[in-house]
Structure 1
Amino acid sequence: MDIQQRYNSALRLLKKYNQAHLLNFFNQLDDAGKTKLLNQIDEIEFDGLNEKIEKYVKKSAPVELPKNFSAAPVYPALPKTDEQKAKYAKAIAQGQKLISSGKVAAFVVAGGQGTRLGFDGPKGDFAISPIKNKTLFRLFAEQIVAAGAKYKFEPVWYIMTSPLNHEQTLDVFKKNDFFGLKKTNVFFFQQGTEVNYSADGKILLSEKDELAASPDGHGGSLRAIYKNGAAADMKTRGIEYISYFQVDNPLINIFDPLFVGLHALDNSQMSSKALAKAHPLEKVGNFCVIDGKVTVIEYSDLSDEQAQMKNSDGSLLFSAGSIAIHIINRAFVEQLNAKGFALPYHRAVKKISHIDLSSGKKIAPEKPNGIKLETFVFDALPLAEKSIILETLRSEEFAPVKNADGADSPAVTKQMMTARAADWLKAAGVSVPVKPDGTPDCIIEMAASFALHKEDIIAKAGSVKKINSGDKLYLES
């Protein structure tokens, strides 16, 4: 089919869906530009497009919650009964066995840029460790390598990038010799994109030969894993479980035997870690049960009254907050894609640069003017036959770096990295100087080669030199 035939076919289709404006400047393009635009139009999922626009683009009404929903059951971070202690011990043993046999792979969602941090590059290349200034990618890689050494297996790391940073991310890994991992054990793939819309449902052009589009959200990872061959690669390697995490959290425990073991023992298809919310209105998703299925309700969709509901003992009813840490069965991902699935879209009003259809000039808006749609991975939880939740401690496993200043800033994350290292040392009997407020009066950076978990330090405690106030201590093996 030549370009003119493709144009005629595209025009008929676009008219049917009220999007013919995408070809307004077609005759001004050279053949390469025409082909580029037609290829992008071919990628639009027209089936259900009008319904998507009516439901998600043109409407901004809050999500309607069912009348009856309850708090989701959660395994506590520390076992509270003899029965739980026995199950946790069994789970740890099972998790260690699965990890050691190469059944668990690391998977990081790393499609974001460091823009909010004032950093020009992939967020994973942002330097964050308190002494050595290691990047997020390096910290994760060192943990993966250390897990391979501890559990005696060859670890595999799957990395989802986006069109915004794919080539940059590849360059980072090449320049750093894949951070000590085998090149063949690092699998890169890109997430999908979603076109952007005007408020009245028209797809925007970012250039005369290009549709305005943005990454489709971390929910797109479940389709991208399958579409880009990662799931098939996992199957070939015998990998059954995917340890899912996001690129902004340097405290992540990637290979957690307890989490993996509980997930496997309970025959869960997709499991989650949760934090006890700091306060009722903390801006995290809330784990709930709706129609017998674990579901996350966004903080913005839960009324203040609902968020502050209490149990009979005075504790917070909806206390479990979602932090985007999951174990997902590879077979579950395959099952979803084989059947065909669609996660709900989440609507965001953003400033979107676009081509003015009248003048043909590029417009850089000063205020939000368009709609971006994305999907969230936690919306797959209700699709699982079984889903469990394990509480984790904020100080142990959650210090995301998102903002240049204030909450979730590099300064806060570095403090939390030092605080966790200090807690681990103190638990092993090492004296750590503290300030009057109880925080460490020193800076400590602990490499994954020194300890992956708190108990790893016990045998090494005697080798740690005395720590004085104001010291900077870097620990590695």
Structure 2
Amino acid sequence: MVSATVDSEADILSNLNIKAGDWPSNLVKNLCLLSPDQIELGKMLVKMGQSHLFQQWTDPGVEDDKKKAFFAQVAKLNSSYPGGLASYIKNARELLADSKVGKNPYDGFTPSVPTGEVLSFGDDNFIKYEEVGVKEAQNAAFVLVAGGLGERLGFNGIKVALLAEATTGTCFLQLYIESILALQEGSCRLTQGTFQKDIPFVIMTSDDTHTRTLEVLESNSYFGMKPTQVKLLKQEKVACLDDNDARLALDPHNKYQIQTKPHGHGDVHSLLYSSGLLKVWLDAGLRWVLFFQDTNGLLFKAIPASLGVSATKQYQVNSLAVQRKAKEAMGGITRLTHSDGIYMKHLQFLEARTANSV
């Protein structure tokens, strides 16, 4: 029996053109359980220095279902990151190496205030751009990044279910949908359209928020928006790293499961691309995609004007920002100019001063 097993392993390795010494022995023993696709994933993991993942694997016939579940998770992680897990590990190693030696990617650059349009809420210039923006709204799609919970705010639920104001009990998600519907109606009226175009609304969710976001929408009849207008895209998690060599971390309670964590907001762009929505919107003649985050009740006071600026000045990218006071603990948008005269591409920005901004 032992001899037959060894012969079987040798045949598999020979067929795969793999040297036994190059692979962790516990993985070699279990090759007979794996499909061709799973074996390819195993090759990738070994090549990327992840042999430790198989260190505690048992012999075939023991916990086989968990081993297959491991590769199902690896396949999901591999498909959800641009370039796959190999690219994720490679990028992580480069970033960790730079961090370890204190490398600053902005060395040699001098920051300065970027160019942009400064608007004051309600003045003639603001109203002019706002009218242009309302007209353009029918050619736009709105994307809400809503993957977070309200725990830090003392709220046991999703952030978009928080009250935007207490008088009517309107939550943020309702406020956003009603604002988009108002723009939809206003755009049709100003352009003297014969029918309203439905403005697409995408919500990026996470494992923590997806089901609860859907429940809020369905229990409130989508707050008056057609369900077909709303699309939920769930952000997948990424693998956790164990050290500066970017070794993937195993769950301390399950040797057949890789620890994962939520990824950043930047996932929204790859999700829109991989979902095919960008092509659908392009084919439908849409010109603009507006991204916003989950708890900013004043945002839609400025969005029409910012869209109007983009349309008037033919910006490809435009960021909406408020004035930042010196030493204030908030991010800023800047232009970076290198000592050799080359400047880093930066986002044009619109500075909007709202009457109630803080």
The TM-score, its normalising length taken from structure 2, stands at: 0.73
Q: Please give the alpha-carbon distance, in whole angstroms, between the structure 2 residues aligned to 1:35 and 1:163.
A: 22
CA distance in 1 between partners of 2:355 and 2:348 (Å): 22
1:420-435 equivalences under 5 Å are none
Separation of aligned partners in 2, 1:158 and 1:255: 20
Alignment of 1:243-322 (within 5 A): 243-253=290-300, 256-290=303-337, 291-295=342-346
- The separation in 2 between residues aligned to 1:2 and 1:92, in whole angstroms, is 65
1:168 aligns to 2:207 (yes or no) = no
Evaluate the alpha carbon distance shift between residue 156 and residue 220 of structure 1 in structure 2; reply closer, same or farther with a 3 A threshold: same
Task: Give the C-alpha shift of residue 38 in structure 1.
Answer: 0.7
Q: How far off its partner does 1:74 sit?
A: 2.6
Partner of 1:4: 34
Answer 1 or 2: higher relative contact order, Cα 8 Å, separation at least 6. Answer: 2
Secondary structure in 1 aligned to 2:116?
Answer: coil
Distance 1:230 1:214, change over 3 A: farther
**Cα distance in 1, alignment partners of residues 240 and 278 from structure 2:** 28
Does structure 1 residue 35 correspond to structure 2 residue 76? no
Contact 2:48 2:86 in 1 (8 A): no
Deviation of the 1:132 alpha carbon: 2.7
Question: Which has the larger Rg?
Answer: 2
2:203 corresponds in structure 1 to: 159
Distance 1:89 1:132, change over 3 A: closer
Cα distance in structure 2, aligned partners of 1:204 and 1:395:
49
Q: What SS does the aligned partner of 2:118 have?
A: coil
How much has 1:89 moved relative to structure 2? Answer: 6.5
1:108 is paired with a residue of what secondary structure?
Answer: strand
CA distance in 1, matches of 2:264, 2:236: 8
Matched, 1:20 2:51: yes
Match for residue 224 of structure 1 among 264, 268, 271: 271
Give identity over the alignment, percent: 22
Q: Does 1:107 align with 2:143?
A: yes
In structure 1, the residue matched to 2:249 is 204
Q: Residue 104 of structure 2 aligns to which amino acid in structure 1?
A: V
**C-alpha separation in 1, matches of 2:40 and 2:134:** 56
Q: Which portions of structure 1, spanning 4 or more consecutive aligned residues, are displaced by more than 6 angstroms?
A: none
The unaligned stretches of length 5 or more in structure 1 are 296-386, 400-477
In structure 2, C-alpha distance between the alignment counterparts of 1:212 and 1:179, rounded to whole Å: 37
Q: Which runs of 5+ in 2 are unaligned?
A: 1-30, 79-83, 189-195
Q: Give the residue type in structure 2 aligned to 1:211.
A: I
Q: TM-score, normalised by structure 1?
A: 0.56
CA apart distance, 1:388 = 2.2
Q: Find the residue that maps to 2:157 and give its secondary structure.
A: coil
Assess if the C-alpha contact under 8 Å between 2:324 and 2:332 holds in 1: no
Query: What is the CA distance between 1:39 and its match in structure 2?
Result: 2.4
> In the TM superposition, what whole-angstrom CA distance separates every residue of 1:217-245 from its partner, at most 9, and x where no partner exists?
11111111111232133234432201110
Indicate the residue corresponding to 1:117 in structure 2: 153
2:230 alignment partner in structure 1: 186
Partners of 2:129 and 2:298 lie apart in 1 by: 22
Deviation at 1:116, TM superposition (A): 1.3
Aligned match for 2:280, one of 227, 230, 233: 233
**1:238–1:66: structure 2 CA closer, same or farther, 3 Å change rule?**
same
Shift in Å, 1:157? 1.0
The amino acid across from 1:29 in the alignment is E
Alignment-mate amino acid for residue 352 of structure 2: T
What SS does the corresponding residue of 1:197 show, helix, strand or coil? coil
Partner of 2:290, secondary structure, is strand
